[in-house]
């Protein structure tokens, strides 16, 4: 199978064409089926390959999806943190990546601090092995592709004209990054979905570059992108209700206290059964997790038949395995 993807970085969804992402989805389907049937056809796909996983912040799903994924394909993952390397002592991205490139075959990085994406771009400039964005300040592409895969599964690949709602929630205990919402609004219009971004007011809109990309993608692919300041109105007729919190853009990396106060000034943005009843009766509820139960979503919704949160989490692993197989391994 010749895909031309070997060695390709995955820093942002926009770096990959729709055709390349469809190839990734096809490979993920095959790998998921292999797991379901326990056929072990791909156990040596990444034999003797090493993945470095550099985490500036904690993780449950991303770390374990990468680590289990590479193990299942015959390779292994090295867990790294700035403290456990010389990064905290000031080693430059160039020196770090030049060395790791000579030892392993891929490197994932999570760095959601302001400048996280720029750090990954510096690594990519010097890297001879593919770099995977395991979430930065701007994008969370390994989550959004798992979400796309999950939506395709749930709606049997019929995405055109589906109403996809990404709603802000009143999760105010700390400032969450914008990256998840930015990845969703830019990716979903490319696959025919009509995206509604629900926010209480302009303060919670996303970065202008992400909003502009979402608008352009909607125009190019014949879908829609709109902003709505009413969570009820946004949920009406939805096929997908995806809800999570993020900090106001003016306070990102700047003033945590102001940001939290601004979040707490907009209580009640939570997905409950009443709001789900405004959506289509075939609608699904999504969240990338970790979810703040009782604040972002009620237990009743999170544990309902409409909730696909655990499928999403599982699909992180299948799509990440496909990503690694295509870019590090012996598929291409």
Binding site for ligand CP (CB under 6 A): 59-62, 135, 143, 288-289
Measured from the CB atom, the residue of 147 and 239 that comes closer to ligand CP is 147
Distances (CA, A) of 296 to 68, 152, 158, 287: 29, 24, 28, 9
Measured from the CB atom, the residue of 176 and 225 that comes closer to ligand CP is 176
Q: How far is the CB of 78 from ligand CP (least distance, A)?
A: 17
Q: How far is the CB of 135 from ligand CP (least distance, A)?
A: 6
* Alpha helices, DSSP H, located in the chain: 18-37, 61-72, 93-101, 116-126, 141-154, 179-187, 208-221, 231-235, 256-264, 273-278, 299-302, 309-328
Measured from the CB atom, the residue of 140 and 190 that comes closer to ligand CP is 140
Residue 268 tokens, joined: 């009640």
Of 92, 138, 140, 142, the residue nearest 118 (C-alpha): 138
Cα–Cα distance for residue pair 325/115, rounded to 1 Å: 28
Q: How far is the CB of 110 from ligand CP (least distance, A)?
A: 7
Q: How far is the CB of 56 from ligand CP (least distance, A)?
A: 12
Q: How far is the CB of 316 from ligand CP (least distance, A)?
A: 7
Distances (CA, A) of 186 to 192, 194, 233, 241, 318: 11, 11, 21, 16, 22
Q: How far is the CB of 180 from ligand CP (least distance, A)?
A: 7
DSSP, res 188: G
CB-CB contact of 178 with 249 (8 Å): yes
């Amino acid at each position: 199978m010749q895909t031309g993807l070997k060695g390709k970085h995955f820093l942002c969804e926009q770096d990959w064409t729709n055709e390349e992402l469809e190839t990734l989805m096809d490979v993920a389907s095959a790998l998921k089926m292999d797991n379901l049937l326990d056929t072990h056809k791909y156990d040596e796909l990444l034999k003797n390959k090493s993945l470095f996983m550099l985490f500036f912040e904690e993780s449950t799903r991303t770390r374990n999806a990468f680590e289990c994924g590479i193990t299942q394909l015959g390779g292994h993952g090295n867990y790294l943190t700035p403290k456990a390397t010389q990064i905290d002592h000031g080693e430059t991205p160039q020196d770090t990546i030049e060395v790791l490139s000579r030892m392993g075959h891929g490197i994932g990085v999570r760095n959601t601090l302001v400048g996280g994406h720029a750090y990954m771009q510096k690594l990519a400039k010097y890297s001879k092995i593919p770099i995977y964005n395991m979430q930065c300040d701007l994008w969370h592409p390994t989550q959004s592709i798992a979400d796309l895969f999950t939506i395709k599964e749930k709606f049997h690949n019929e995405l055109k004209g589906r109403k996809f709602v990404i709603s802000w929630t009143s999760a105010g205990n700390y400032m969450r990054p914008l990256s998840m919402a930015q990845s969703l609004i830019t990716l979903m219009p490319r696959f025919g979905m009509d995206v509604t971004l629900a926010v209480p007011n302009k303060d919670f809109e996303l970065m202008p570059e992400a909003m502009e990309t979402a608008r352009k993608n909607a125009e190019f692919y014949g879908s829609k992108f709109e902003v709505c300041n009413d969570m009820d109105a946004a949920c009406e007729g939805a096929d997908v209700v995806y809800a999570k919190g993020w900090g106001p853009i003016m306070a990102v990396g700047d003033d945590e206290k102001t940001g939290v106060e601004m979040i707490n000034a907009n209580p009640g943005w939570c997905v409950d059964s009443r709001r789900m009843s405004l959506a289509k009766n075939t609608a699904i509820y999504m969240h990338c997790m970790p979810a703040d139960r009782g604040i972002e979503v009620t237990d009743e919704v999170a544990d309902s038949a409409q909730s696909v949160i655990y499928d999403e989490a599982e699909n992180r692993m299948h799509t990440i395995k496909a990503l690694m197989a295509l870019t590090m391994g012996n598929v291409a």
